[in-house]
Chain A
Amino acid sequence: MEEKIKAKIMDEKKMMRSFQRMAVEILERNRDVENLILIGIQKKGVYVANRIKDLISEMEGVDVPSGVLDITLFRDDLHKHEQQPVIQKTEINFPIEDKDIILIDDVLFTGRTIRAAMDSIFELGRPASVQLAVFIDRGHRELPISPDYKGKYLPTSRRERVNVMLKEIDDINQVLIMEPTRF
């Protein structure tokens, strides 16, 4: 599908401010930093998680363990695809039992990815709590899921797409709303 940029929502400066605030909020809510674990959802949630991890390390001097989660095998639409989706790695190389997990993704939309992520996490153990941090909440939830921490709430239309671009993979820090050129 061809797309064009509808609007640029955030630049590098605004993004940095939001990341900073999210990290502070996570620290405020979780007194016991030592019990925290960050889990980024493949693919861009992983980079968002790394940003937050670095900020926490700067502020608190604590190296919070972080893992990577691929939710593909837990998707509810696996049987609908013509091609099987690509599976990426899950790397959570530490026990999550009784830990406070911050589940992290770049964009929160229908909530189905988060449902799959929670199912996947509970196969790995029983955490004390799971909190959700997303960089952009774009609305249109189909499940009773809401973020505990968000960079920005961004109401969108369903046919649009939110593109969180991060320097690590996209060579630039910005958030764009994309829309299809034909429909």
Chain B
Amino acid sequence: MSEYKFNQNHLLGIDHLSDKDIDKILETAESFVEISTRDVKKVPALKGKTVVNLFFENSTRTRSSFEIAAKRLSADLINFNSSVSSLKKGESLRDTVLTLEAMNPNIIVIRHSASGSPHYLTTFARSSIVNAGDGFHEHPTQALLDALTIKQVFKTIRGLKIAIIGDILHSRVARSNIILHRKMGNEVALIGPPSLVPKEFEKMGAKVYYDIEEGVKNADAVMMLRVQNERGAGNYFPSIREYRKYFSINNRVFNKAKKSAIIMHPGPLNRNVEIDNTLADSDKSVILQQVTNGIAVRMAVLYLLKGDINESIN
């Protein structure tokens, strides 16, 4: 363990992390959880560092979670809102980022609808890049905060069964979670209609189920995904009513999972579509704990990256 070093300049996805890196981020996040319970929720660890939130897609929870994380570490934070920016005036992504970089930030947190855009930034930017969700590709901090929540409940992040239900095809959250749990050696069950859960996902080491009860059986954690109407999910099944009948989670289905099982959701919830109202509010639900953990995980990521590649490239 003493030989291990966290050597990542960017967080582009779970894919490029080792299982040791994941352990390191989770352990660091566990120490950060306590800071948010203090009266003075601030430590000076990133004093004098600048974090840019560069969000090209609508987001409230992820953006504010990164914002709070940066502020609790005493970093300075700029929120860059694409809808009122010069992108509207025809500026390219590259020029926007180069302009921001001329102001010497240390870390750029980016969300963009184009898969791979965070990686593109690393080809010319000098800051550390953190992926806050890119298209259908990855959403690494969501998978990490899910993992932290699971670890808090089960005291381990290995040897578990994780069931993910819903629109796997369009979900970067699902993709990051599949990669993470396969790296940790967990069993991953994917459940949904064939149009949203193609068999190809088995190449990632997961198992695909079209029967929700069969898939959820003996699971430790059941993750529900939102039906993403804005990404056209509604075209992939006949009707919400039919989707609800076969793939929403309720007490009867959830009872097939282990007795100790928890129910998770990355939010925002479509109550009574993918998740039964009473189940979302039950003591099995860790949905709000996930939100709280989001801050600790993002603090850990900002702390561990720190954005000092700036100096070395200059």
B40-A124 in contact (CB<8A): yes
User: Shortest distance in angstroms between B173's beta carbon and chain A's nearest beta carbon?
Assistant: 27
Do the beta carbons of A73 and B43 come within 8 Å of each other?
A: yes
Binary CB contact string for chain A from 128 to 168 against chain B (1 if under 8 A, 0 otherwise):
00000000000000000000000000000000000000000
User: A6 an interface residue at 8 Å Cβ cutoff?
Assistant: no
A70-B31, A84-B303, A89-B31 known; A123 vs B40 contact (CB < 8 Å): yes
Give the distance in Å from the alpha carbon of A119 to the alpha carbon of B39 in the complex.
14
Q: How far is the CB of B144 from chain A (nearest CB, A)?
A: 16
A7 near B: Cβ within 8 Å? no
**Complexed CA–CA distance, A119 and B5 (Å):** 28
Chain A minimum-CB-distance residue to B49: A79
B interface vs A, CB < 8 Å? 5-6, 28, 30-32, 34-35, 38-40, 42-45, 48, 73, 303-304, 306, 308
Residues A89 and B34 in contact in the complex (CB < 8 Å), given A84-B6, A84-B306: yes
Kindly state whether residue A90 has any CB partner on chain B within 8 Å.
yes
How many pairs of residues, A versus B, come closer than 8 Å at their CB atoms?
A: 41
Decide if A88 is an interface residue (CB 8 Å cutoff).
Answer: yes
Taking CB atoms, residues of chain B closer than 8 Å to A72 are 45
Chain B residues, CB < 8 A from A124: 38-40
Q: How far is the CA of A105 from the CA of B303 in the complex (A)?
A: 25
Chain A residues positioned under 8 Å from B48 (CB to CB) = 79
CA distance in complex: A119, B40 (Å): 12
Interface size class of A (residues with CB under 8 A): 10 to 19
Q: Is the CB of A74 within 8 A of B44?
A: yes
Q: In the bound complex, how far is the Cα of B74 from the Cα of A119, in angstroms?
A: 14
- A83 is an interface residue with CB less than 8 A from chain B: yes
User: What residue in chain A is nearest B5 (Cβ atoms)?
Assistant: A83
CB distance from B296 to the nearest CB of A (A): 11
A89 to B296, CA, bound (A): 13
Q: 5 closest Cβ contacts across the A-B interface? A: A73-B43, A73-B45, A87-B31, A123-B40, A89-B31
21 pairs, CB–CB < 8 Å, chain A vs chain B:
A72-B45, A73-B43, A73-B44, A74-B43, A74-B44, A84-B306, A86-B28, A87-B28, A87-B32, A87-B303, A89-B31, A90-B31, A90-B34, A90-B35, A91-B34, A119-B44, A120-B43, A123-B40, A123-B42, A124-B39, A124-B40
Q: In the complex, what residue of chain B is closest to A125 when comparing beta carbons?
A: B39
B38 lies within 8 A of A88 (CB)? no
Please, which residues of chain A bring their CB within 8 A of the CB of B73? Answer: 73
Contact indicator B31/A88 (Cβ below 8 Å): yes
Contact digits for A90-105, partner B, Cβ 8 Å, 1 yes 0 no = 1100000000000000
